[in-house]
Structure 1
Amino acid sequence: MVESTGLYLVDIESVLDGSARRSIEDGMVPVGKVLILKDLIEYFYNQAKKGMSIGFTGLDEIKKLGSIKRSGVNIEIIENDKHVIRELNYEEIKKSIREYAWKSSAIIITSDSMMLDSAEALGIPVLYTGSKRTGKLKLESFFDDKTMSVHLKEGATPLAKLGKPGSWVFVKLSDKPMERAQIEELSREIIERASTMEEGFVEIDRTGSTIVQLRDYRIIITRPPLSDGWEITAVRPIAKLKLEDYNLPEKLMKR
């Protein structure tokens, strides 16, 4: 464990993947102040205004950080008057975090290996929280070996498409409609895992929609204003099919 100076500063990735919060809850941060740059909150706010999932996830985690009650640990939002940010973009925020930590002798809490390397090069202490995430996604509990895709929508019952191309049925997975909070939580986990796993990445993140490739799952998340509520559609190939499996016309098959 890194020697504590009593002053900690959260980084973008450790907020997004929840590892900053968990490091406090699990006692990796023994005692002291945990600082959140006001510019980081503004960055997440601007991303959320554009409909970007990173913004919603970041703001939600900031709220969770602020609600932590642990003896000896205080959460504080601070302004960085040591670095003038020309534009609230990713690189400027990262630079501001390094600059503040360097000037104030704070320990950076990060799960970003590049931030780890750059901070250590500057002599800035780091609490690295970037261990690989393991275990199944909550989303995977909706799948079995016959499931082609899962369709989740707030206010509607969850559905699964079972079978194979040319021979499938929709099946209701529960009589209880999905709540918005459930789908938001699933979405956060998907995006967090895609950001920290080698086998996953966020392919597209734009106003109202996010497309993620995570192992064999291709996942589309939509939200207002693009849709009238939060939705997740996850598709997974269940088998490599032969031409015969598609029930094509005989003439076409002969070609």
Structure 2
Amino acid sequence: MKTKIVLDTSIIIDGEISKKIDNNELTENHEIIIPRAVIDELQSQACKQKEHGIIGLIELKKIREKSLEKKINVSYIGEKPTLSEIRLAKNGRIDSIISDIAKNENATLFTADYIQHIVADATGISSVHKITEISESYNIENYFDEKSMSVHLIEGIEPLAKKGTPGNFSLEKISNEKLDKNILIKIINFLFSVKNNKKISNVEIAFEGCYVLMYKNFRIVITQPPISNKIEITAVRPLKKLSLNDYNINDNLIKRISNEAEGILIAGPPGSGKSTFASSIAEYYVLNNKLVKTLESPRDLQVPESVVQYGSFKNGYERVADLLLLVRPDFTIFDEVRKIKDFELFADLRLTGIGMIGVIHAGKALDAIQRFIGKIELGMIPHVIDTVIFIHEGKIGNIYELNLTVKVPSGMTEQD
């Protein structure tokens, strides 16, 4: 009697089955069962230009061809999933269909998905969890040295790195060897790999053609078609962690941050060191026995362990903001304030009495204030923002204090 094995989507994409056939781990004494739901899921992904869908379909072709050579029986079982079932694939619907087939066929489920493996064990289905180990040679850390701020890996281009310090850096080639698609895919696979039954990266943002990950202290952005015309991986690493003392701040500013400022804007152009300064303020407040939280997506601020970092929920912070009112922080760092709803939320939280520190892109300190005009009422701005700190090239530039002043219009007297 032949040993039946059922393949799920993950093990096919992983490419493990064709290797097992080549190594004679699967022979004519085995029967390979491929659920139709798997084929339809891979086809759906491929039609959306998702790389995994195309890889999976190519692997299916390899399995069929190699099985013919080794006289291994391959059968296709199950109904085609409905459109709603394909849409619910992320919620485990397709996985459930595959598990049911394995149970009904009294077969062993082969999967590279650890959760699918646990569910199978919990429901009494025989399963084998196997995932190909990704070599450490594809670890993106290998492209960094002690001077690297960020690394830029683009398909068909030599790897590039920005080296130096905020405001004083240069873009340099790391190697003269151009990156091909296969190398970039292996780097991506490494970032999505599992170690000790735990994913090595946290997915902060995901939509079709784009991922934003946190791997250790690296913020990594991955884009691919249809978002971009080719694969690009950008990895950013904080060079060092600073405290407020490292900025040579005078006593007046320390006093203001400690006792007076409760609506702070940290402004500056991209890469100027705003987030690093925000992290140093968070550390300062923690050392002074303040309860600090952050609102950020991705969650990449380097803050003390006691600071809980909140991310967006369903592409927004509204529900998370409701939670902040319940946990009652003394200060919340909002990195970064950019969308119209972000400005409204920053103002709403500040007016409830929570101390707010907002990180905002701006070419000048006054531009940061200007960006609030039109989003909230003009007369409310001084009640929301009391201090603007402009960061340039990693250093504190201008500091502004905001106050509401009522005065007689020019050309008129008090009697008028």
Q: Identify whether the pair has TM-score above 0.5, normalized to the shorter chain.
A: yes
* Aligned residue type for 2:98: I
Which residues of 2 match residues 81-92 of structure 1 at below 5 A?
81=79, 85=82, 87-88=85-86, 89-90=88-89, 91-92=92-93
Q: How far did residue 60 of structure 1 move?
A: 0.7
- Residues 182 and 117 of structure 1, relative CA distance in 2, 3 Å threshold: closer
Q: Report the AA paired with residue 13 of structure 1.
A: S
Structure 2, unaligned runs of 5 or more = 248-392, 400-416
Q: Which moved more, 1:31-40 or 1:132-141?
A: 132-141
Structure 1 104/216 Cα, relative in aligned 2: closer, same or farther at 3 Å? same
| Counterpart AA for 2:236 | V
1:37-76 alignment to 2 at 5 Å? Answer: 37-51=35-49, 55-64=50-59, 66-67=61-62, 69=66, 72=70, 74=72, 76=74
Q: Which has the larger radius of gyration?
A: 2
C-alpha RMSD of matched pairs (Å): 3.4
In 1, Cα distance between equivalents of 2:46 and 2:110: 23
Question: Within 1, Cα distance between the matches of 2:73 and 2:56?
Answer: 13
Q: Is the 8 A contact 2:13 2:59 kept in 1?
A: no
Look up the match of 1:169: 170
Q: Could you tell me whether the CA contact under 8 Å between 2:110 and 2:129 is conserved in 1?
A: yes
1:35 counterpart (28, 33, 37):
33
Residues 219 and 84 of structure 1, relative CA distance in 2, 3 Å threshold:
closer
Instruction: Classify 1:26/1:189 alpha carbon distance in 2 versus 1 (closer, same or farther; 3 Å).
Output: farther
Q: Deviations over 1:20-62 (max 9, x none)?
A: 55555666656513333232132133234445xxx42243144
Q: Check conservation: 1:11, 1:108, Cα contact below 8 A.
A: yes
Q: Distance in 1 between matches of 2:61 and 2:150?
A: 37
> Residue 36 of structure 1 contacts residue 76 of structure 1 at CA under 8 Å; is this kept in 2?
yes
Residue 235 of structure 1 deviates from its aligned partner by 1.4
Instruction: Tell me whether 111-120 or 24-33 shows the greater mean CA deviation.
Output: 24-33
Are residues 147 and 104 of structure 1, via their aligned partners in 2, closer, same or farther at CA, if it must alter by over 3 Å? Answer: same
Change (3 A) 1:174 1:73: farther
Partner of 1:197: 198
In the alignment, structure 1 segments of 5+ residues that lack a partner are: none
Larger relative contact order (CA 8 Å, sep ≥ 6): 1
Deviations 1:219-244 (A, max 9, x none): 11112332232211111223213553
Length-normalised TM-score, structure 2: 0.50
Between the aligned partners of 1:76 and 1:11, the Cα distance in structure 2 is: 14
Pairwise CA distance, 1:134? 7.5
Equivalent pairs counted in the alignment come to 244
1:80 maps to what in 2?
78
Q: Distance in 2 between matches of 1:188 and 1:236?
A: 20
Structure 2 residue identity aligned to 1:171: E
- Output one character per residue of 1:152-189: Cα deviation in whole Å (capped at 9) or x when no partner: 11232210112232332211112333333332333333
User: Kindly tell me: are residues 94 and 227 of structure 1, through their superposed partners in 2, closer, same or farther at Cα, counting changes over 3 Å?
Assistant: same
Shift in Å at residue 65 of structure 1?
Answer: 5.2
Q: In the alignment, does 2:5 pair up with 1:8?
A: yes
Q: Name the aligned partner's letter for residue 6 of structure 1.
A: T
Q: 1:248 aligns with which of 377, 383, 396?
A: 396
Match of 2:292 in 1: none
Question: Taking every aligned residue pair, what percent have the same amino acid on both sides?
Answer: 26
SS at match of 2:238: coil
The answer as to whether partners of 1:148 and 1:236 remain within 8 angstroms in 2 is: yes
Correspondences of 1:227-242 after superposition (within 5 Å): 227-242=228-243
In structure 2, relative to structure 1, the CA distance for the partners of 1:221 and 1:114 (3 Å cut) is closer
Residues 130-149 of structure 1: pairs in structure 2 closer than 5 A = 135=136, 137-149=138-150
Contact 1:150 1:233 in 2 (8 A): yes
Q: TM-score, normalised by structure 1?
A: 0.76
Contact 1:16/1:192, CA 8 A, preserved across alignment: no
Alignment-mate amino acid for residue 220 of structure 1: V
Is the contact between residue 192 and residue 200 of structure 2 (CA under 8 Å) also seen in structure 1?
no
1-side partners of 2:78 and 2:53: how far apart? 19
Q: Secondary structure at the match of 1:211?
A: strand
Alpha carbons 2:42, 2:57 under 8 Å: kept: no
Q: Which amino acid aligns with 1:228?
A: N
Deviation at 1:138, TM superposition (A): 3.7
What is the rounded CA distance, in whole Å, between the counterparts of 2:115 and 2:59 in structure 1? Answer: 25
